[in-house]
Amino acid sequence: MTRKFKIDLFSDTNCGISQGMRQAIMNADVGNEVAGEDPTVNRLLEECRELLGKEAAIFMPSGTMCNGIGFRVLCELPGDAILLDKTAHPLHKASGLVAGLSHAVPYLLEGERGIFTLDQVREILERPSGYNISVPRVLSIEQPTNFGGGAIWPLKTLQEICALASQYGVKTHMDGARLLNVVAVTGISARDYVAPFDCVWIDFCKTLGAPMGAVLAGSQELIEKAWYYKFQQGGGMHKAGILAAGCLYGLHHHFSKLKNVHKIAQSLGVLLSKVPYIDLNLQFVETNIILFTVNHPTLSAPQIEAALAKKGIRIFAVDHNTIRLMIHLDIKEEDSATIADAFLNLVEMP
Ligand X SMILES: Cc1ncc(COP(=O)(O)O)c(C=O)c1O
Q: Which residues bind ligand X (CB under 6 A)?
A: 13, 62-64, 67, 89, 142, 146, 175, 177, 203, 205, 214
How is residue 214 annotated by DSSP? E
To ligand X, the closest distance from the beta carbon of 87 in angstroms equals 9
Question: Alpha-carbon torsion 17, 21, 24, 30, what sign?
Answer: negative
To ligand X, the closest distance from the beta carbon of 160 in angstroms equals 22
Nearer to ligand X, 67 or 321 (CB): 67
For residue 172, list its beta bridge partners.
139
Closest CA to 345 of 307, 314, 293, 315: 307
Nearer to ligand X, 61 or 269 (CB): 61
Cis peptide before 144 (omega within 30 of 0): yes
To ligand X, the closest distance from the beta carbon of 144 in angstroms equals 8
Nearer to ligand X, 64 or 102 (CB): 64
The 3-class secondary structure across 172-192, one letter per residue, is: EEEEECCHHHHHHHHCCCHHH
Nearer to ligand X, 214 or 301 (CB): 214
**β pairing state of 136-142 and 81-85:** parallel
Find the residue with minimal CB distance to ligand X.
63
Of all helices (H) and strands (E), which one includes residue 8? strand 7-8
To ligand X, the closest distance from the beta carbon of 127 in angstroms equals 27
Nearer to ligand X, 54 or 89 (CB): 89
CB 158 within 8 A of CB 196: yes
To ligand X, the closest distance from the beta carbon of 350 in angstroms equals 36
